[in-house]
Every structure is written in structure tokens, then in C-alpha cells.
């Protein structure tokens, strides 16, 4: 299976052009809140929260590093050279911002560490804070979350109150889990280079994997923005007008009872029949509106929808979006229309975990998802569309007109996306 044709796919190229030229929609109607955000090591600090405690025994050395203005891949390269090991022998849970002060855990073979550890102290941008032994290498995703400390500038007292209110609402109700602008390189368009990559995931180098993931991220962001526009219609138009708009603009035609339930709930991210949901912050996948194993045989759709929307409201489950991959190819080749009837039987069945990782939406949800689904040279997986910040703390320095905001986000969520949601605009703009 290859990636031939993506660089000539007019539909995809149009989407990518749209992403590069249009302003983002965050699902809010109020004017953006003006403040200055500087992405630097003084005003942006991030610290990883490990997924598990370390065993203090084993063949792997875990190092907690403090890095200044040093990206993860650059750091990995420096460490590999210092210890005379291959870059793939250095384990890390995720990529961290370059223009920041970051605290990150990495794993290396303990044998190499003991032989060449003095070389690590010669790297000026890195300081070893803690050291442990562990029985496993750290792998991508082995992360509970990240703690952030961020300083915002040129904030008036009135705008501080707005920031505080919006941040508190996001803590209670969540925010859209957009990939941040850092994902797309210095010029914001590194995903264009991914169109030329033909190698399968297991043969890609770290740069190629990064570019491919950027292409996946663009498709996800565009899908999520489309879903927010649908939600905005549901929240701000009458039932009749919403039904008309979704039918004519998005080809979504639910029966009136279903539409009325979803319209009445007025969730910030409106669910659709066939959405792939997942227990939050981790758990099993299931389809929105489907019967569960413990449901009685005579339970009706209305009760199922009310139950699922209530769980979406309280944050115990979440809608997920697709990061397209090669596993989508077989489904897409069958044709968009046929998929709606045969999707369940087309799911890969190598193992239960594989099936969950690449599960596609169905019915109304697939009507939207299919527009952003391509056989990208990556392993398909799903990502929460909506996440919740915790441990929120906000302080205002009136003399300096600065806000200090601290919070924790789950693994994979971007602090810059959280700030953009609060601002209701690009966080890089005043």
C-alpha cells in the first residue's frame, strides 16, 4: 500500500490551501480578547507528568531534563551523539516546544549512560534534574499530561476578568482539542512536504514521521472546525432553521425526534449519530447512539441519546476525531456511499486493539468525517475532539498588566490551543 496520488489529489490540495489561508473558527461569537503571548523560555514553561511511577530497577536509565530553547528531536540527537548510541535508542513520550523552558523525561540504555554520562554535562542547553532506573524504554504516548505556566502581557483589568471567566468555563465545559500552530513548522506549512513521502511508517525517519503527522493534524483540525460550525448552527438557530441548514449545507437529515434531542441539549460540540466516542480520559470506543452491552433489548433511541449526551455534558465520555492513515484506504476504495451501509464489516480485524485504533465514524458522523479522510502514510488512530484543563490557577499583576496562568492538560493537548480558545483568535495576534 503506498501514498501515490496524494500530491495530485485536488480535493486534498484544496483543503490544505483552505487551511493555510483562512482564519480558524473556535466556536465562539464574542470579539477576541486582546493580550500579548510571547513564546519564549521566560513566559512559557512546560513540565511532563509521567504516565506511571518508575521502577528504580532495570536496564533503562530515565532522565528528567530541563531544556532551554531546545526541541525534543534536537535534544535526542545531541544525547545520542554524546552517549555514542543511535537516536532510536533514546525514548521520549512526546515532542516539546522549542521556544520554551521544558522539563521532559527521556530514557536511554543504562550501560551507555554509565560509560559516557560525563559527556551529557557538556551540553549547555540541558540540565539533568533527576535520574532513575526503569525496566522499560519510554515510548510515544507514555504520558499522563503536561503542566504549564504561561505569562500573558498587556492585559487590562477588564480583559483579565474576561480571561478568567473564559478559562473557568473551559475548565468546567472543556475546549476543542486543536493541534497547535507549533505542529506545522516555522512557516506553518510543513504538511505540504508530507505529500511526497512514499515510505510506510516503519521505514520513515523521525523527520518524515513528523511531517506525516502534521498532514494528519491538518485534516483533524479542519474536521473539528467543521463540527464546531455545525454546533454553532444548532446553538444559534431555531429547530426548523437548523434542520434546513444541516440538510442543505451538510447533507445531514435526521428524523425530527433525534434532531430535537440534540438541538435541545445545546452542547458546545454537538454529537452526531455514529460518532466514535471514548470514555474520558481513557477507555473503550463505542458509537454514539448505539446500544451498549448492558442496555436492555427494548431501550429506544431517544433514551440512548439522552444518556450519551448527559455523559458528554459531565465529561465522562468524549467524541473522537480521526487521524487518517493507511487503514482508511480499503474503506475509501469501496466508495463513499457504499461505506455508509458496509462500514462495520470493513473494520480491520487483526486484533481488538487494532480495530479500536482505526475505527471510522458511521451514519451522520461519517458524512462529515469522510471529507477529511485520506490514506495518509501513517497508522490511523483516533484523538479526543474535546479535552478539559485541570489545576487552573490565574493571577493578575495590575502594575505590570500581566496575567500568570497555570494549568494541566492531558497528553497531546496544546496550551496554545487552549489560549486561542480563551482569546477566540490566534494567540500569536494581539
Q: Which residues are catalytic?
A: 97
Q: Please enumerate in sequence order all residues whose Cβ is within 8 A of that of 336, keeping only pairs 6 or more positions apart, or say none.
A: 370
Rounded to whole angstroms, how far apart are CA atoms 387 and 43?
Answer: 23
Rounded to whole angstroms, how far apart are CA atoms 309 and 219?
Answer: 26
Whether 63 contacts 102, CB under 8 Å: no
Distance from the Cα of residue 189 to its chain's centroid: 18
Rounded to whole angstroms, how far apart are CA atoms 299 and 301?
Answer: 7
Which residue reads 463540527 in cell numbers?
A: 227
Question: Is the CA virtual torsion 159, 160, 163, 165 positive or negative?
Answer: negative
Could you tell me where the DSSP H helices lie in 53-129? 72-83, 110-120
Q: Please enumerate in sequence order all residues whose Cβ is within 8 A of that of 58, keeping only pairs 6 or more positions apart, or say none.
A: 110, 133, 134, 135, 136
To the nearest 10 degrees (0 to 180), the angle between helices 72-83 and 206-236 is 160
C-alpha cell read off for 112: 551507555
Whether 423 contacts 170, CB under 8 Å: no
Amino acid at each position: 500500500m503506498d501514498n501515490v496520488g496524494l500530491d495530485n489529489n485536488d480535493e486534498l490540495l484544496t483543503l490544505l490551501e483552505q487551511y493555510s489561508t483562512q482564519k480558524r473558527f473556535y466556536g465562539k461569537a464574542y470579539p477576541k480578547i486582546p493580550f500579548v503571548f510571547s513564546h519564549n523560555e521566560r513566559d512559557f514553561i512546560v513540565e511532563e507528568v509521567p504516565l506511571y511511577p518508575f521502577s528504580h530497577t532495570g536496564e533503562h536509565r530515565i532522565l528528567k531534563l530541563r531544556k532551554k530553547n531546545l526541541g525534543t528531536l534536537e535534544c535526542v540527537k545531541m544525547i545520542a551523539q554524546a552517549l555514542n548510541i543511535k537516536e532510536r535508542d533514546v525514548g521520549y513520550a512526546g515532542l516539546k516546544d522549542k521556544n520554551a523552558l521544558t522539563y521532559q523525561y527521556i530514557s536511554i540504555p543504562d550501560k551507555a549512560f554509565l560509560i559516557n554520562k560525563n559527556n551529557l554535562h557538556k551540553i549547555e542547553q540541558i540540565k539533568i534534574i533527576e535520574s532513575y532506573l526503569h525496566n522499560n524504554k519510554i515510548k510515544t504516548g507514555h504520558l499522563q499530561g503536561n503542566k504549564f505556566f504561561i505569562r500573558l502581557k498587556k492585559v487590562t483589568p477588564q480583559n483579565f476578568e474576561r480571561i478568567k471567566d473564559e478559562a473557568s468555563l473551559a475548565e468546567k465545559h472543556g475546549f476543542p482539542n486543536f493541534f497547535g500552530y507549533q505542529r506545522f513548522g516555522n512557516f506553518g506549512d510543513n504538511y505540504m512536504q508530507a505529500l511526497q513521502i512514499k515510505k510506510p511508517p516503519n521505514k520513515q525517519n523521525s523527520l518524515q514521521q513528523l511531517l506525516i503527522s502534521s498532514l494528519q493534524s491538518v485534516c483533524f483540525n479542519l474536521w473539528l472546525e467543521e463540527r464546531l460550525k455545525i454546533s454553532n448552527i444548532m446553538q444559534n438557530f431555531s429547530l426548523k432553521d437548523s434542520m434546513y441548514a444541516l440538510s442543505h449545507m451538510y447533507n445531514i437529515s435526521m428524523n425530527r425526534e433525534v434532531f430535537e434531542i440534540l438541538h435541545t441539549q445545546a452542547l458546545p460540540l454537538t454529537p452526531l449519530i455514529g460518532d466514535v466516542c471514548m470514555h474520558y480520559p481513557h477507555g473503550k470506543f463505542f458509537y454514539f447512539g448505539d446500544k451498549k452491552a448492558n442496555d436492555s433489548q427494548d431501550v429506544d433511541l431517544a433514551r440512548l441519546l439522552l444518556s450519551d449526551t448527559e455523559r458528554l455534558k459531565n465529561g465522562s465520555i468524549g467524541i473522537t476525531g480521526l487521524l487518517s492513515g493507511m487503514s482508511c484506504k480499503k474503506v475509501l476504495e469501496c466508495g463513499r456511499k457504499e461505506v455508509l451501509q458496509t462500514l462495520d464489516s470493513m473494520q480491520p480485524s487483526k486484533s481488538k486493539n487494532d480495530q479500536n485504533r482505526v475505527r471510522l465514524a458511521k451514519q451522520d458522523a461519517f458524512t462529515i468525517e469522510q471529507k477529511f479522510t485520506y490514506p495518509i502514510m501513517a497508522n490511523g488512530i483516533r484523538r479526543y475532539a474535546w479535552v478539559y484543563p485541570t489545576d487552573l490557577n490565574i493571577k493578575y499583576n495590575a502594575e505590570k498588566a500581566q496575567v500568570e496562568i497555570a494549568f494541566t492538560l492531558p497528553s497531546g493537548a496544546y496550551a496554545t490551543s487552549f489560549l486561542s480558545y480563551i482569546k477566540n483568535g490566534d494567540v500569536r495576534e494581539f
